[in-house]
Amino acid sequence: MKRILLFAFGTSFLLIGLVVLFLAVGYFQDPKFQKETSEWLKAEPEDIWNYITDINDLPNRRKEVVAIKILETRQDGTPTKWMETPDMGGFMIFELRESIPNRKWKIELIDASIKMRGSWTYILEPKIPGTVVTIIEDSEITSIPVRGASVLAGRDATLLKEMEFIRNRFSGR
């Protein structure tokens, strides 16, 4: 009986310690994050542009996005505000902030159930034969547990994953 109690207390203290450590990691990390990544791809700027700006196709190419709801569009049908439903539940509302066809596309996360805000800027620079793609993330996570989880996953994981999707789409050309 004494062994069982010692094991139970030891396990409880270990779990509590891990939770405190997890929260401490999130607490002591800077809520703001900025980073960029660039890569040369053997593809035309127009092809990359069409891929990154096709909001309706996100659930088909990114498994973590299960649904898209277009909230606002321009007269030409271009989405300017949309809601993504991630596979972990909740919501993320994005708004188009800048659009220079085949050159620059900036979107902003204006509301999210995960207490995150930020912007992602895609810059396309023709470098014959191909294009240099630069993605800039400028984000902020106000929730300590979400920040702790993002640190454990890698603060730049979303940024690097997005570049990987683009690279995979245009590799082998």
pLDDT in tens, the chain (173 residues): 778 877 777 788 778 777 777 677 667 788 899 999 999 999 999 999 999 999 999 999 888 999 999 999 999 989 999 999 999 899 999 999 999 999 999 999 999 998 899 999 999 999 989 999 999 999 998 888 888 888 778 889 889 999 999 999 998 65
Looking at residue 3, the DSSP 8-state letter turns out to be H
| pLDDT for position 40 | 95
Whole-structure pTM value: 0.85
Strand pairing report for 116-126 and 32-41: unpaired
Beta carbons of 123 and 52 less than 8 angstroms apart:
no
CA distance 68 to 81: 11
Q: Where are the domains of the chain?
A: 31-170
Residues 31-170: name the CATH superfamily. START domain (3.30.530.20)
Kind plus residue range of the DSSP H or E element containing 123: strand 116-126
- Report d(CA 96, CA 79) in Å as an integer: 8
Q: Tell me how crowded residue 134 is: count the other CB atoms within 10 A of its CB.
A: 15
Q: How far is CA 7 from CA 3, 4, 10, 20, in A?
A: 6, 5, 5, 20
- Which residues are CB-neighbours of 145 under 8 A, at least 6 positions away? 22, 23, 26
d(CA 27, CA 37): 26
Q: Measured in Å, how far apart are the chain's first and last C-alpha atoms?
A: 67
